[in-house]
Amino acid sequence: MEYTVEIENLRKEFKGFTLKDVSLRIPKGYIMGLIGPNGAGKTTIIKLIMNLIRKNSGRILVFGKDHIRYEAEIKSRIGFVYDVPPFYEDLKLKSTASAIAPFYPEWNQQLFLKLMDEFELPLDKKLKKLSHGMKMKFSLCLALSHHADLILMDEPTSGLDPVFRQELLERLSHIMLDEEKTVLFSTHITSDLERIADYITLINNGKILFSKALNDVLENWVVIKAEKDLLEKKDIPGIMGYQKTEYGIEILTSDVKKARTLLPSDSITEKASLEDIMYFTNKGDNNA
Amino acid sequence: MKIIISNASQKPIYFQIAEQIKNQIISGELKEGESLPSIRKLAQELQISVITTKRAYEELEKEGFIDTVGGKGCFVAMQNKELLREKKMKMVEDKLSNAVAEAKLLGVRLEELKEMLTLLYKEDE
């Protein structure tokens, strides 16, 4: 398999937060979802890939090349989609586009105009007049207009209404028709991802808990619910988190097949959603 | 080709897709040699991940329902209709014998079971 992004032992220390020697590979031609609670390190990873902040140690390759040594070349092939586009607020959208176009050898003005039309974005409006969602769309429109091979999106759906979110997902699945394109998108709204992401990376507290094909996760991870006296967490193979209440216990496991053979007969097994997984793994950390 | 995906279903999405395509091949709605949308096209149409449609096609290919021709796409494989029907009947038989075994465990009588079956059979009509 070819990888668009390869991250090895990436470390970044902030006051009060450390990204702890993270390794991650993003396969070419697929969508990778980066999920985790607020403050887990999602944005840090994306900013490090873009070299907007300096890493302490580790290695990042994008398109097989060092992300700092070949920064300009790499960035001309990346579409960075961010809800606060780093452009002059007082510039009209069409002027913003003409200002950035020269940086991208692949810029396609006709495509840009066509997309602006499709996205219903006003060429003659100033950036500061746009709503949050429209800024996001404008950012995406720019990325698509220079034929970015890697699209990095940091929380693209947060703060967007369902109609916008749906539009974005449609756009993403359209991009994936081209097997040369790769998307990395971070979010804490996991329902957006459950259908469209090929791979999922869960990060919590600066560490990667797993990075896997989403199908594998959704098929093998379950939440087991039982009376609390019937089940001890040590009984369950592959336990990733649990919670106990007055009335029962709920356990997240990544190994449904093994777990099933050990369960008391009146326990309930339910498919784990990404949200369950995020919730329980976060809890497990605190309790264990 | 018709595909309807249920998010509420316990069955994984790739399985739902493979099952529906299979049924359309068995019923003859999809004809031998007919071309199927590419993995990426289908993923886009259904707005699901590429891996999911890929997996569905892989299952179908493994079971001999479709052929992948490099560079040209996926096609409904040449089928032996009788053989297909037999395969399907065998599946029904297996499931029924599971149900019978469970029923026996619970002490359900044959008459009761027949009644249950009749009810279930007519339910969708």
| Residue-by-residue pLDDT tens, chain B, 125 positions | 889 988 778 788 999 999 999 889 887 888 888 999 999 999 999 999 999 999 999 999 998 889 988 778 889 988 777 777 787 788 889 899 999 998 988 888 999 999 999 999 888 66
Query: A31–B49: do the CB atoms touch at under 8 Å?
Result: yes
Q: Which token pair is A36?
A: 């985790």
Q: Biggest alpha carbon distance in chain B? A: 57
pLDDT band at A285 (very low <50, low <70, confident <90, very high): very low
Query: B47–A214: do the CB atoms touch at under 8 Å?
Result: no
Assign 3-class secondary structure to chain A: CCEEEEEEEEEEEECCEEEEEEEEEEECCCEEEEECCCCCCHHHHHHHHCCCCCCCEEEEEECCEECCCCHHHHHCCEEEECCCCCCCCCCEHHHHHHHHHHHCCCCCHHHHHHHHHHCCCCCCCEHHHCCHHHHHHHHHHHHHHCCCCEEEEECCCCCCCHHHHHHHHHHHHHHCCCCCCEEEEEECCHHHCCCCCCEEEEEECCEEEEEEEHHHHHHHCEEEEEECCCCCHHHCCCEEEEEECCCEEEEEECCHHHHHHCCCCCCEEEECCHHHHHHHHHHHHHHC
- Whether residue A103 has pLDDT greater than 60: yes
Interface predicted TM-score of the whole assembly (ipTM), two decimals = 0.80
User: pLDDT of A179-216, one tens digit each?
Assistant: 999 999 998 877 777 788 999 999 999 999 999 999 88
Task: Give this prediction's pTM.
Answer: 0.83
Q: What is the model's pLDDT at position A176? A: 93
Residues in chain B within 8 Å Cβ distance of A169: 47
Span A132-145, average pLDDT: 88
Query: B47–A173: do the CB atoms touch at under 8 Å?
Result: yes
Q: Which of A131-145, A238-252, B111-125 has the lowest average pLDDT?
A: A238-252
Give residue ranges of A with CB < 8 Å to any B CB: 29-31, 169-170, 173-174, 176-179, 195-199, 213-215, 218-219, 271
Residues in chain A within 8 Å Cβ distance of B37: none
B70 to each of A257, B65, B67, B73, B75, how far by Cα in Å? 36, 16, 10, 6, 11
Q: Which token pair is B39?
A: 């993995």
B40: closest CA of chain A, how far (Å): 5
Q: Which of A12-21, A139-148, A235-244, B68-77 has the lowest average pLDDT?
A: A235-244
Q: What is the model's pLDDT at position A230? A: 64
Give residue ranges of B with CB < 8 Å to any A CB: 7, 10, 12-14, 40-41, 43-44, 47-52, 55
